[in-house]
């Protein structure tokens, strides 16, 4: 992988984490106010946001991790 | 004996320039809000100081076209398009084998972007993705750089409704434009994903229930152990597919807010520094904003490229 691709993948991570957690929380808050279930869906949305954030970051950085492993073993 | 020269000037000239700059800085510091609050009013004329900025997040409608409000950010985006089209036309009208300066500049920029595309996405896909990636790059870049011109935020006009609004406003600082670009990027990525991987394989990345139903089938056939394992791993597959789909949509949000946030923060920073210390202090921040515009354009187009590459690469190839 080129340096540029690695850099771009890393740059994308920050706002992705923020975006997914905020979206989860906002969706939870909105659904809570609609369904009167405060705060169950807020917490659920937060959890889903965090999980999506971790998974997305893992997917974005997977090639970088593989590169490193190759170098260590080789 | 040759005279000693510093920065291309003789020493007395340099001293005069430095003294003038220092004087200007002192006057600007004393007339700005920072100097006034620290030292107090020293009786400088009022026109030296800058009024407190009043940034507005929603853009203002300048006029209406067939019932649609045409905002100042749309007009700025049109200006950007006009500049890009004009420059491309002037440069490509008479291409020379030995390029002039402007052609050489554009050739090196486009060549660099093209190399980046091929490096990240491979020879064939890089060629395929290049037009959209380069368009996003230049559009975001020119939006950011043009909004640093003095005509932005200073020309006031009166609308039909009698309001005073700015004629131009940095197009990237209106959240609708980053959102529209993020949607373009999203559709571009999905389109190429579906076209190059095939609709069935591409959608299987998000809805992956094969092992789940296989496991259920085995349960019905009586093999309890294999069935339970199948249902469990199938459940994980479905969950991962859901996460994959969600993260695809979250990208739109993160694209939008990254560009909007950085550009709006930059504009407010410039306004505030001009308010605190007018004239000279803002110059380094202008340099910073030039850099931020370049970086944001690179990030927006580069991430589109990376995501498109991820979409056309099979999951197994990527992890292997």
Reported in sequence order, the residue ranges of B140-291 that DSSP labels E, i.e. its strands, are 156-158, 164-166
Number of domains in chain A: 1
Percent of the residues in chain B that have a pLDDT greater than 90, as a whole number = 34
Residue A49 lies in a domain: yes
Beta bridge partners of B68: B65
Residues 14-33 of A with CB under 8 A from B: 15-16, 18-20, 22-23
Task: Answer whether residue A19 is part of any domain.
Answer: no
For residue B274, the model assigns a pLDDT of 87
Same domain, B78 and B17: no
- Are residues B191 and B240 both part of a single domain? yes
Whether residue B82 has pLDDT greater than 80? yes
- Asked whether residue B34 falls in the same domain as residue B175, the answer is no
Residue B318: its pLDDT value, please?
Answer: 54
Look at residue B264 and tell me if it is in a domain.
Answer: yes
Q: What is the mean pLDDT of residues B124-152?
A: 92
Same domain, B188 and B285: yes
Centre a 10 Å sphere on the Cβ of residue B100 and count the other Cβ atoms it contains: 10
DSSP letter (8 states) at residue B61: E
Q: At what angle do helices B72-93 and B176-197 cross, to 10 degrees?
A: 60
CA distance A31 to chain B (A): 17
Q: Is B243 close to A19, i.e. CB distance below 8 A?
A: no
Report the residue of chain A nearest B248, measured CA to CA.
A56
Considering the domain architecture, whether residues B80 and B143 belong to the same structural domain is answered as yes
d(CA B204, CA B102): 48
The answer to whether the Cα torsion of B273, B275, B277, B282 is positive or negative is positive
**Chain center to CA of B4:** 45
Q: Do A48 and B246 touch (CB under 8 A)?
A: yes
B55 inside domain: no
Interface test with B, best of A2, A5, A46 (most B CBs within 10 A): A5
Report yes or no on A14 lying in a domain.
no
Instruction: Give Rg (Cα) of chain B.
Output: 28
Given CB atoms, is A3 within the 8 Å cutoff of chain B? no
Q: Label residue B154 by pLDDT band (50, 70, 90).
A: confident
Chains A and B form CB pairs within 8 A to the count of: 67
| Closest approach of A8 to chain B, Cα-based (Å) | 6
Angle in degrees, 0-180, between the axes of helices A3-35 and B224-276, rounded to the nearest 10: 100
Which structural domain, as residue segments, surrounds residue B27?
5-48
Residue numbers in chain A where pLDDT is lower than 70:
1, 68-74
Assess if residue B223 is contained within a domain: yes
- pLDDT for the residue B134: 94
Which residue range(s) make up the domain with A44? 24-67
**Which residues from B are below 8 Å from A6, CB to CB?**
none
Q: What is the CA radius of gyration of chain A?
A: 17
Cis, peptide link before residue A22, omega less than 30° from 0:
no
Interchain CB distance below 8 Å, B119 and A4: yes
Please tell me the predicted confidence (pLDDT) of residue B83: 94
Interchain contact, A4 vs B120, CB within 8 Å: yes
What DSSP assignment string belongs to B107-161? Answer: HHHHHHHHHHHHHHH-HHHHHHHHHHHHHHHHHHHHHHHHTTSTTTTT-EEE-TT
- Looking at the structure of chain B, the number of domains it has is 2
Note the pTM of the prediction, 2 decimals.
0.86
Is the confidence at residue B291, as pLDDT, over 90?
yes
Instruction: Say if residue B204 is in the same domain as residue B305.
Output: yes
Is A30 among the domain residues? yes
Worst-scoring range by mean pLDDT, B113-117, B167-171, B293-297, B300-304? B167-171
Distance from CA of B216 to the nearest CA of A (A): 26
- Are B306 and A12 within 8 A, CB to CB? yes
Per-residue confidence band for B210, with pLDDT thresholds at 50, 70 and 90: confident
**Inside any domain, residue B294:** yes
**Contact (CB<8Å) A20/B243:** no
The verdict on B166 and B78 lying in the same domain is: yes
pLDDT exceeds cutoff 70 at B314? no
Give domain status of residue A29, yes or no.
yes
Contact B318 A12 (CB under 8 A): no
Q: Is residue A55 part of a domain?
A: yes
pLDDT tops 60 at residue B64: yes
Burial, B28: exposed, middle or buried (Cβ in 10 Å; 0-12, 13-18, 19+)? buried
Residue B56 in any domain: the answer is no
Q: Which residue of B has its CA nearest to A12?
A: B303
User: Does residue B179 belong to the interface with chain A, where contact is any CB pair within 8 Å?
Assistant: no
Q: Quick one: B298 and B173 in the same domain?
A: yes
Per-residue confidence (pLDDT) for residue B300, from 0 to 100: 93
Same-domain check for residues B32 and B144: no
Residue A6 lies in a domain: no
User: Do the domain assignments include residue B54?
Assistant: no
Does residue B290 sit within a domain? yes
The candidate with the shortest Cα–Cα distance to B310, out of A29, A44, A59, is: A59
Tell whether A4 is covered by a domain.
no
In a domain, B241, yes or no: yes
Average the pLDDT over B107-125 and give the result.
91
Split at pLDDT 50, 70, 90, the class of B320 is: very low
Residues B148 and B34 in one domain: no
Same domain, B243 and B120: yes
Contact by Cβ (8 Å): B39, B30: yes
The residue that leads in pLDDT, B212 or B262, is B262
């Amino acid at each position: 992988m080129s340096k540029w691709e690695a850099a771009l993948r890393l740059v994308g991570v920050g706002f992705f984490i923020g975006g997914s957690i905020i979206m989860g929380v906002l969706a939870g808050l909105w659904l809570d106010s609609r369904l009167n279930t405060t705060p169950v869906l807020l917490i659920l949305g937060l959890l889903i946001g965090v999980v999506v954030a971790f998974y997305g970051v893992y997917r974005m950085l997977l090639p970088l991790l593989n590169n490193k492993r190759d170098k260590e073993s080789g | 004996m040759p005279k000693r020269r510093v920065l291309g000037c003789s020493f007395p000239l340099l001293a005069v320039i430095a003294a003038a700059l220092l004087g200007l800085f002192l006057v600007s510091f004393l007339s700005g809000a920072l100097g006034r609050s620290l030292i107090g009013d020293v009786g400088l004329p009022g026109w030296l100081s800058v009024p407190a900025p009043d940034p507005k997040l929603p853009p203002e409608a300048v006029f209406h076209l067939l019932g649609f409000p045409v905002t100042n950010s749309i007009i700025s985006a049109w200006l950007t398009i006009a500049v890009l089209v004009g420059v491309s036309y002037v440069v490509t009208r008479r291409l020379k084998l030995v390029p002039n300066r402007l052609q050489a500049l554009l050739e090196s920029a486009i060549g660099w972007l093209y190399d980046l595309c091929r490096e990240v996405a491979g020879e064939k896909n890089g060629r395929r993705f290049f037009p959209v990636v380069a368009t996003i790059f230049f559009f975001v870049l020119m939006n950011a750089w043009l909004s640093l011109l003095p005509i932005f935020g200073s020309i006031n006009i009166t609308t039909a409704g009698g309001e005073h609004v700015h004629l131009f406003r940095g197009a990237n600082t209106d959240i609708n434009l980053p959102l529209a670009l993020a949607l373009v990027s999203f559709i571009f990525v999905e389109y190429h994903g579906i076209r190059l991987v095939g609709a069935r394989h591409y959608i299987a990345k998000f809805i992956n229930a094969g092992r789940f139903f296989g496991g259920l089938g085995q349960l019905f056939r009586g093999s309890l152990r294999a069935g339970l394992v199948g249902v469990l791993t199938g459940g994980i597959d479905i969950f991962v597919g859901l996460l994959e789909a969600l993260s695809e949509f979250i990208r739109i949000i993160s694209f939008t807010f990254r560009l909007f946030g950085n550009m709006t923060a930059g504009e407010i920073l410039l306004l505030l520094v001009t308010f605190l210390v007018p004239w000279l202090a803002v110059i380094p921040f202008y340099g910073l904003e030039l850099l931020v515009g370049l970086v944001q354009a690179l990030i927006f187009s580069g991430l589109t490229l990376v995501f498109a590459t991820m979409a056309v690469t099979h999951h197994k190839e990527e992890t292997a």
